[in-house]
Structure 1
Amino acid sequence: MNDPVTIVSGRAYPWGAKNIDTDIIIPAHWLKTTTREGLGRGAFETVRAIDGNIFDDPRYAGSPILIAGDNFGCGSSREHAAWAIGDLGIRAVIAPSFSDIFSGNAFKNGIVPVVLPQEAIDRLVEAAKDGEVTVDLETMTVTTSYQDRFPFELDAFRRDCLMQGLDEIGLTLAKHAAISKFESADASHRPWISGRGHDASVAV
């Protein structure tokens, strides 16, 4: 289960960099872990090694939104990329396009992937330098402190899951009653499937 997301609002990293692959998001030597906790320390490690980088700029510390460039999340399919971004505190990424796998991983981990045209990204990068940005899933808009308003689209199923905080496990648990009812009925009709009708004393 993820935390429900309806509105993500606050400062945003005005990055805008294009073709950021998953190795830049989280380098391979961080992939030994099987948990999400602590991966934020390795997020954008090579970028943060450069003095004056945007991720360590105190003006944007803890920003819940990242404004990026085209083809964000390309490269390998590592889910750790979404884990690292989430552990860094980012709840929405705005870019002209995402790799399909990263977009899916972001959604599964409660991160909103917002697609906007390059002109909107350029404006958001400027507006975020000294103002706040809001991503609203109710109105399906991105707005700024300067009254900019950019509508975006998101798959209705994914939007609903994000707003309810549901991942695949959560979706399955939500159907627990129906699943249990089916399994009980199936066990009565086909006891050999569940093992209830198996007689261990009978040789095969």
Structure 2
Amino acid sequence: MAGWSTQKGHALALAIDNIDTDQLIPARFMSAPRSEGYGQYLLHDMRRGDDEQLSADFPLNRHEGISILVAGHNFGSGSSREAAVYALVDAGIRAVIAPSFGDIFANNAINNGLLPAQVDAQKVMQLQHALKDAPAQVSIDLPASRLTLGDLKVTFELDEGWRVKLINGWDDIDLTRQHMQAIGAHRKNRNKAAPWAWPNKPN
């Protein structure tokens, strides 16, 4: 997974609260191979009518090349399906800006290079208002935790460990590997202090 520090892309206002993981990708599509791409299933039932045709009324259907969503409260709540993040990433989304996120969704997002930028609700409303007529370019500065839309500059909250993972393109395993020397030293010290606890001598 490639890391990133800055990002520029067209942002779309999706001012809907409580978009959960089942809406992001309905469960019936999760048996499809990931190699086929999950982007086609993103918000499937919200974007389509009973005839399965894309609805012209849904914001995401009216614009192409969107890589940033400015969403509502509690984005990504619901079940812990990582496929919800796959659907966003495969559709070209690199960041979601919202007042709050489902905890498991946010963690899955980080592990797949997707930024869940938590922003004050009033600032989110300002961003959505600025985007109400048409998408516009937003710049994201990950080290500074800052978003820029025209003259509007907004800071976002991000755990420092998550920032490191995004910048370096690391998942949880990659992050653990950065501490292998300390882990090895701890194993050796524990073996000396309590050799009875080790059925086999550690490497």
How far the C-alpha of 1:125 sits from its partner, in A, is 1.5
User: For residue 164 of structure 1, what is the amino acid of its counterpart?
Assistant: N
Using the aligned pairs only, state the percent identity.
Answer: 35
Provide the rounded CA distance (Å) in 1 between the counterparts of 2:111 and 2:172.
7
Q: Which residue is 1:199 aligned to?
A: none
Q: Which residue is 2:118 aligned to?
A: 115
CA contact (8 A) 1:107 1:162 kept: yes
- 2:157 equivalent to 1:153: yes
Q: Which residue is 1:140 aligned to?
A: 145
Q: Which residue is 2:101 aligned to?
A: 98
User: For residue 151 of structure 1, what is the amino acid of its counterpart?
Assistant: T
Provide the rounded CA distance (Å) in 2 between the counterparts of 1:25 and 1:180.
41
Secondary structure of the 1:12 match is: strand
TM-score (norm 2): 0.82
Provide the rounded CA distance (Å) in 2 between the counterparts of 1:36 and 1:158.
26
Deviation per residue, 1:13-60 (Å, 9 max, x gap): 2111111011110000111146365111101111221421222223xx
Flag the 1:37–1:180 CA change in 2: closer, same or farther, 3 A: farther
Q: Which residue is 1:125 aligned to?
A: 128
- 2:70 equivalent to 1:67: yes
Q: Which residue is 1:193 aligned to?
A: 200
Q: Which residue is 1:168 aligned to?
A: 172
In angstroms, what is the RMSD of aligned CA positions?
2.6
CA contact (8 A) 1:65 1:94 kept: yes
Secondary structure of the 1:159 match is: helix
**Greater mean deviation of Cα atoms: 19-28 or 113-122:** 113-122
How far the C-alpha of 1:186 sits from its partner, in A, is 9.0
Provide the rounded CA distance (Å) in 2 between the counterparts of 1:174 and 1:20.
35
Higher strand share goes to which structure? Answer: 2
Aligned length: 192
Q: Which has the larger radius of gyration?
A: 1
Flag the 1:148–1:174 CA change in 2: closer, same or farther, 3 A: same
CA contact (8 A) 2:5 2:167 kept: yes
Secondary structure of the 1:97 match is: coil
Provide the rounded CA distance (Å) in 2 between the counterparts of 1:130 and 1:100.
27
**Greater mean deviation of Cα atoms: 134-143 or 172-181:** 172-181
- Identify unmatched segments of 5+ residues in structure 1: 197-204
